[in-house]
């Protein structure tokens, strides 16, 4: 029996290419037991500003030590006010479409827990795209905290009975195909994405979901 596992950070309103992982896996693991990547996409993403230039929409988080796991990061106390102010930088977020859209409205009123919130934004997006959403958090598994990088991912895949590991195209330098084979796991990568790179929120507000879905599904996989 084939069981395809994908492991990735819980990105905030990521580009549509990210959702190819949901389309190609049986179980998606939210990688929340690792240190928060401060310059990554867990707490921010880009939308066009008033000049149609990329501008960050950032989730305001409390300061924390550098090695703090994603699952332990927290929102600032006045997050609702800060996000409402941030939304004003983006014309698309002031439109009637944004006022009625479930993802846009959720982004204005996040839950108290960061990972709960990110998981819900991903769930809503997958639902709108008619993609499967079978999710496990890495923090819910018995992962040895001493494991790092490839070893930690292999342990997660094995715990879930995975036969295939599906990875984003940018991760080719991170993993050793021979090592995965030794563990009886087939390593596969998404092909490089040639679609629209704006945040999925922007695409939802400017395109039909079925168009985005077709764009996602036409992208393929290649072996490691």
User: How far apart (Å, rounded) are the C-alpha atoms in residues 92 and 202?
Assistant: 7
Residue 211: give the domain boundaries.
4-223
User: Residues near 117 by Cβ (< 8 Å), separated by ≥ 6?
Assistant: 106, 110, 111
- Going from the C-alpha of 100 to that of each of 5, 9, 97, 103, 165, the distances in angstroms are 34, 28, 5, 9, 37
Looking at residues 35-44, what average pLDDT do you find? Answer: 95
Residues 73 and 44 sit within 8 Å (Cβ to Cβ)? no
H helix intervals, the chain: 20-24, 79-87, 96-100, 102-108, 114-128, 149-159, 177-182, 200-206, 209-217
Is the confidence at residue 224, as pLDDT, over 80? no
User: How far apart (Å, rounded) are the C-alpha atoms in residues 105 and 45?
Assistant: 16
pLDDT by residue (tens digit) across 79-135?
A: 989 999 999 999 999 999 999 999 999 999 888 899 999 999 999 999 999 999 999
Tell me whether residue 102 is exposed, middle or buried, using C-beta atoms within 10 angstroms of its C-beta: 0 to 12, 13 to 18, 19 or more: middle
Predicted local confidence at residue 4, as pLDDT:
97
**11-15, 155-159, 174-178, 212-216: which range is least confident on average?**
174-178
Residue 70 DSSP symbol: G
What is the token pair recorded at 25?
């896996």
Predicted local confidence at residue 217, as pLDDT:
94
Q: In the predicted model, what is the mean pLDDT of the chain? A: 95
Predicted local confidence at residue 88, as pLDDT:
93
Torsion of CA 73, 147, 40, 131, to 10 degrees: -90
User: How far apart (Å, rounded) are the C-alpha atoms in residues 150 and 167?
Assistant: 12
* Tally of domains in the chain: 1
């Amino acid at each position: 029996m084939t069981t395809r596992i994908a492991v990735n950070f819980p990105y905030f309103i990521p580009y549509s290419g990210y959702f190819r992982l949901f389309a190609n896996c049986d179980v998606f693991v939210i990688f929340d037991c690792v240190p928060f990547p401060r310059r990554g996409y867990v707490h921010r993403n880009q939308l066009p500003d008033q000049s149609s230039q990329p501008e960050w929409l950032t989730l305001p988080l409390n300061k924390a030590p550098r090695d703090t796991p994603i699952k332990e990061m927290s929102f600032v106390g006045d997050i609702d006010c800060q996000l409402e102010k941030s939304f004003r930088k983006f014309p698309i977020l002031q439109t009637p479409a944004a006022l009625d859209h479930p993802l846009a409205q959720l982004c204005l009123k996040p839950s108290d827990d960061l990972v709960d919130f990110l998981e819900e934004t991903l769930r809503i997006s997958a639902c709108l795209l008619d993609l499967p959403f079978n999710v496990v958090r890495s923090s819910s598994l018995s992962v040895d905290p001493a494991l790092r990088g490839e070893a930690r991912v292999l342990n997660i895949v094995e715990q879930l009975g995975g036969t295939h590991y599906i990875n984003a195209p940018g991760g080719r330098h991170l993993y050793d195909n021979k090592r995965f084979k030794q563990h009886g796991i087939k390593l596969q990568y998404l092909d490089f994405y040639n679609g629209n790179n704006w945040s999925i929120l922007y695409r939802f507000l400017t395109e039909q979901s079925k168009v985005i879905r077709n764009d996602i599904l036409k992208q393929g996989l290649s072996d490691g």
